[in-house]
Structures are given as structure tokens and as C-alpha cells.
Amino acid sequence: MTDRIVLAYSGGLDTSVAIGWIGEATGAEVIAVAVDVGQGGESLEDIRQRALACGAVEAYVADARDEFANDYAMPTLKANALYQGHYPLVSAISRPVIVKHLVKAAREFGATTVAHGCTGKGNDQVRFEVGIQTLGPDLKCIAPVRDLALTRDKAIAFAEAKGLPIETTKKNPYSIDQNVWGRAVETGYLEDIWNAPTKDIYDYTATPEFPPAPDEVVVTFKQGVPVAIDGIAVSPLQAIQELNRRAGAQGVGRIDVVEDRLVGIKSREIYEAPGAMALITAHKHLEDITIEREQARFKATVGQRWSELVYDGQWFSPLKRSLDAFIEDTQKYVSGDIRMTLHGGAAIVNGRRSDTSLYDFDLATYDTGDTFDQSQAKGFIELWGMSSKVASTRDQRAAGK
């Protein structure tokens, strides 16, 4: 029986050419796997037909938008995950769901190898291959660009020679990856980190310099998950889509950052994540009134480590699974409403309410009705500073010798 290889297929030039390129280089049959995580553009059926026309023996397509929103974007939201304080893990969280479907397709079609279109200097090769090794330890991995010398110029020549039904003459100067959680842009003009992004880079967001009138929105959460917007029930996918539209119209969620890649180099990235950044802002403000102080402080540390693990391709790791359990436990009381104004590139929270809030008006107020016993403060301060006071006395005594 002829060997079979499943290929993560986007429908673009490189992965379309990779179908025939892999076949000629290995003698294997290629099954194209396309996964919709809300990237927009062509229909899955059009992509499926192109894969078959380019030589795939089978084409596996999956509408994973709700799965992606529920099982990957929502854990990211609960963690308030921002790699290096900036990046909401747009591409990093889409790779595990694609890996899941690649392994599923490999089992379904009897493939022994999984292929992806990543280069040898990016993060995604690690995310794909570590995920595949974890979910399918018996499967092998290849990357045509990295392992089979498939360069861009060779891809164009191959497509033209074979008459493949894809655009081969126009070269976008940027590398772009997008899904419903956001959009990532790199390379080209952006590789000079002094160059400012040009207007043509952006697609999910309007320019914030000339915004429309302020847009006030109320997001309702239940145990850390958005369940309504302005009182209208929504699914996680619908919540992201609605805030992509409304926050995007106000220029919210533009990010320009130089980040540390897993492979050891620094890379300049432009991100657009209007829905993600608006939701993370709202969620964090709701946590501020519903999570106990020490738990909240530790959760910030956990969220940072969670972000690093996911960025580094460890979605399926034991540590990430353990951190998931902690984060999920913190969300028990994260329910309520957040009101915020979207305007001029910012999402500003100006109202919060929750039946499980830890904010006590009578303790917080300075007016009549204050129930805080200020007489307790003096003794508290004495005890709180005791260890520092004793150490300072020792230091002064030692210095005088």
C-alpha cells in the first residue's frame, strides 16, 4: 500500500504546490487538511476542490470555528493571556486545534506522516510538531519548506509548469496569519524595526485617529465566559465576532511589538485583535472585583507562565494542563457585567457589577455609614512591619560596631 501523508492545507500557493512537491519527493499520496478557525476568505468547499485539483487524493475539511472559540480562545481569555505583556497568542492557540484535526485525519485515512508549511526559523514548526508528537507519537513530521527545499520561487515555477489553479504572479510582501481571535503580520518592510506600519497592513481595525462616535458596550460574563452583549445572549464565537466588529471600528487592538521567538531570535510583529483585547480588558476588570487578593496575585504569575507555555508550543503539556485546573478554579465567581466605552483605539471600563463581587461599599466608603474600624489599623501596621523593624535594628547595631 502506498504511504500517505496528511498536509495542513491553507489553499494558498505554498501549500497547494506542496501537494505535488511532496508526492514527487516521497512517492506518497497526499491528503489535504483544511481547518476553518475563523480566518475568513474562501469557503471550505472551494478550498477542498482546489486541493483535489492540485493532486490531493483526499481532502478533509473542518468547520472548527465554535470549537476554536470554546476550547482554545476561552481558556486564553480566562488566563488573561498576553505573551510578554502584549501578544494575545493569536496564532499560537490556533495551532493546537489544527494539530488535533491533522492527527484525526491521519487516523481516518491511514497516514503515517504529517506535513506542515512552516519554515525552520519560526515558532509554528515547534507548535505543530510538538503537538503531533504528543497526540500521535507514532506519526512522523515533515515540512516541505524546511525539509524538501520548497522555496517561494520554486513554488511559483512548479505551479506554472503544472498549470495549478492558483495565483502565482503576485507576491504579498508580508506573511499573514489570521483567525477569529486576531491577525498577525510580519516580514517585508516591517523587518526594519524603525519603519512604522503602513495603512495597508491593517484589515481587522479602522484607523483610530479619526474614530466614529464612542461606542458603549456591556459584556456579561458567567464563570469567566462572555454570555451576552448589551443583554443579548451570545456564544463565545459570537462574542468575539461582535467585538471584532465594534472594537475594530474604533481601532482597538492594534499591537506593534518586537517579541522573543522560541528559536532564540527577536521578531517584529504587528497584531490586530480587537475582540480579543476588548474581552481581555473586560474580563480582567471583572476579576478585579470577584477574585480574592492573594489568589489574584498568584493568578497573574500563573497566567504569565501559561502564556509562555502556549507560545512555546506546549498546549498539550502536563504543566499547562495543571495550570488550566488552577485557572478554571479561579473563575467560579467571575460572573457579572462590565460596561466599557470603545473609542479612538482604546477600550475603557467605566462600570462593573456582580452578585459575587468582593467590593463592599460600606467598607470602602469614607462617608457616613463607613463600617471599617480604623482603630485596628495601628496594631496591624505594627505587626506588619515587625520583621523589617527587627532587621533594621540589627543592621544599625552591626554598622555601629
Residues 142-182 have pLDDT tens digits of: 998 888 888 878 888 888 888 888 765 555 667 888 999 99
State yes or no: pLDDT of 331 exceeds 70. yes
Residue 124, annotated as binding a ligand: yes
Does 259 carry a binding-site annotation?
Answer: yes
Active site (annotated) includes residue 387:
no
Q: What percent of the chain has pLDDT over 90?
A: 80
Number of domains forming the structure of the chain: 3
pLDDT for the residue numbered 181: 98
Position 107 scores a pLDDT of 97
153 is in an annotated binding site: no
Note whether 192 and 339 are same-domain residues.
Answer: yes
69 domain residue, yes or no: yes
Per the domain annotation, does 366 fall within a domain? no
pLDDT digits (tens, 9 = 90+) for 194-220: 999 999 999 999 999 989 999 999 999
Do 205 and 117 lie in one domain? The reply is no
For residue 95, indicate whether it is catalytic. Answer: yes
CATH number reported for the structural domain that contains residue 225 in this entry: 3.90.1260.10
Please compute the mean of the pLDDT values over residues 47-73 and round it to a whole number: 96
303-322 pLDDT, tens digit each: 999 999 999 999 999 999 99
Q: 125 and 52 share a domain?
A: yes
Percent of the chain with pLDDT over 70: 98
In a shared domain, residues 153 and 226: no
CB-based contact 21:150 (threshold 8 Å): yes
pLDDT tens digit sequence for 31-52: 999 999 999 888 999 999 999 9
- What pLDDT, on the 0 to 100 scale, is given for residue 91? 95
Between CA 75 and CA 93 the distance in angstroms is: 10
Q: What is the pLDDT of residue 288?
A: 98
| In a shared domain, residues 154 and 188 | no
Examine residue 60 and state whether it is found in any structural domain, yes or no: yes
**Which one of 4, 48, 50, 95 is the catalytic residue?**
95
Active site residue 375: no
Predicted confidence at residue 1, as pLDDT, reads: 67
pLDDT of residue 171: 58
Give a yes or no: residue 46 inside a domain: yes
CATH, residue 128: 3.40.50.620
Same structural domain, 87 and 209? no
Selected catalytic residue, list 48, 124, 246, 268: 124
For 91, residues 6+ apart whose C-beta sits below 8 A from its C-beta are 123, 124, 177, 179, 184
Hey, what's the cell of 351?
462600570
175 is catalytic: yes
Does residue 127 have a known ligand-binding role?
yes
Q: Would you say 203 is a known binding-site residue?
A: no
Residues 165 and 78 in one domain: yes
| Average pLDDT score over residue span 45-63 | 94
Predicted local confidence at residue 37, as pLDDT = 97
Domain boundary among 137, 171, 205: 171
Cell numbers at residue 322, please? Answer: 495543571
User: What is the average per-residue pLDDT within 107-113?
Assistant: 96
Looking at the structure, tell me whether residues 61 and 127 fall in a common domain: yes
Q: Which of 138, 171, 204 is the last residue of a domain?
A: 171
Within a domain: residue 362? no
Instruction: Establish whether 235 is an annotated binding residue.
Output: no
Catalytic, out of 66, 71, 147, 175: 175
pLDDT at 278: 98
Please list, in sequence order, all residues whose beta carbon lies within 8 angstroms of the beta carbon of residue 351, skipping any fewer than 6 positions away.
Answer: 218, 337, 338, 339, 340
Q: What is the largest CA-CA distance in the chain?
A: 89
Average pLDDT over residues 270-295: 98
Residue 367 domain-assigned?
A: no
Which of 12-16, 67-71, 100-104 comes out lowest in average pLDDT?
12-16
- Rounded to the nearest integer, the mean pLDDT of the chain is 93
Instruction: Single out the residue in 171, 194, 218 at which a domain terminates.
Output: 171
Q: Based on the domain organization, do 143 and 204 belong to the same domain?
A: no
The radius of gyration computed from the CA coordinates of the chain, to the nearest angstrom, equals: 25
Classify the C-alpha dihedral 52-23-98-101 as positive or negative. Answer: positive
Q: What is the pLDDT of residue 175?
A: 80
The answer to whether residues 133 and 197 belong to one domain is: no
244 is in an annotated binding site: no
Could you say which of 4, 14, 254, 307 is catalytic? 14
| Residue range of the domain that includes 387 | 372-399
User: Within this chain, do residues 122 and 254 fall inside the same structural domain, yes or no?
Assistant: no
In the prediction, which pLDDT does 172 show? Answer: 61
> Same domain for 141 and 272?
no
CA 279, CA 276: separation in Å to the nearest integer?
A: 5
